[in-house]
Structure 1
């Protein structure tokens, strides 16, 4: 197993043709991650298919980043298959992330915020986070959860601290 570099982050965007705002969430997240000190944010785009998502995750993890964020495919629709593609690969799952995400999404988006199947966990020593692909959901996740849990403040009990300390 290769140890991930925690200053590297990867984003996989599960593409849905015809969506005007697909890239807005990715651009927003790349900017926030850069501000948080992630020097390299690699991005990929993948079709809405379990096989394509798994293949791309495997390729990204062959040189593991500290954090992998997957945008899109977490809704209740038939083509939303990100959880089915990635959850079987997780070694650990952080259920509290989903709970908090739903709480904040419900506050800003109302009942539609509860339909997301967003999740977080780890594959080996890489933090894996799956979010809806729309900008408002990503802003909620960054503002209320990720900006804290992905910070380099190792004095706090964060996902980044817990996962990085498990490697030592």
Structure 2
């Protein structure tokens, strides 16, 4: 009997400046490494400007049938922070508990600005989409939260039992 292949994941970094080459993406590679440690098959992060390019990247990943897409960046209050809106345009069902858990964890860790994250989570087809804030600290913290929920969530989306 062979082991099932690792679920596929995509990381999308939403950053106008990183996409323009003004600075290197740091949160995307950290997220890729963390998801690999959790047992997912992940290529390098896709770096796109915020807004419509994020929506296109999410739609492409869902159409490709990946199990998980995690975005980093674009969840704040800035005028160009549009990742939650792009996500909501793609997902069919919202999974509010994941985004709530990420915000609650930030507050528990003493990161008061965590309540300003507008990140959402939801399902597009059989793909789970989760928004994470763009800092490396937020990514590290989010990976800890996601480690406890991803196996069960991805198994359910793949048709597994509750």
Q: TM-score, normalised by structure 2?
A: 0.84
Partner of 1:48: 50
Whether the 8 Å contact between 1:34 and 1:41 is mirrored in structure 2 is no
More strand by share: 1
Alignment of 1:5-154 (within 5 A): 7-17=7-17, 23-49=25-51, 51-143=52-144, 145-151=145-151
RMSD: 2.4
Whether the 8 Å contact between 2:99 and 2:130 is mirrored in structure 1 is no
For structure 2, list consecutive stretches of 5 or more residues without a partner in the other structure: none
Q: 1:25 to 1:101 in 2, by over 3 A?
A: same
Query: Please, which moves more after superposition, 30-39 or 112-121?
Result: 30-39
Whether the 8 Å contact between 2:17 and 2:49 is mirrored in structure 1 is no
Which whole-Å deviations, capped at 9, do the CAs of 1:129-149 have from their partners, x for residues lacking one?
111111111111111x21122
Displacement after TM superposition at 1:91 (Å): 1.2
How many pairs were matched up?
155
- What SS does the corresponding residue of 2:10 show, helix, strand or coil? strand
Q: TM-score, normalised by structure 1?
A: 0.81
**Partner Cα distance (2:134, 2:25) in 1:** 8
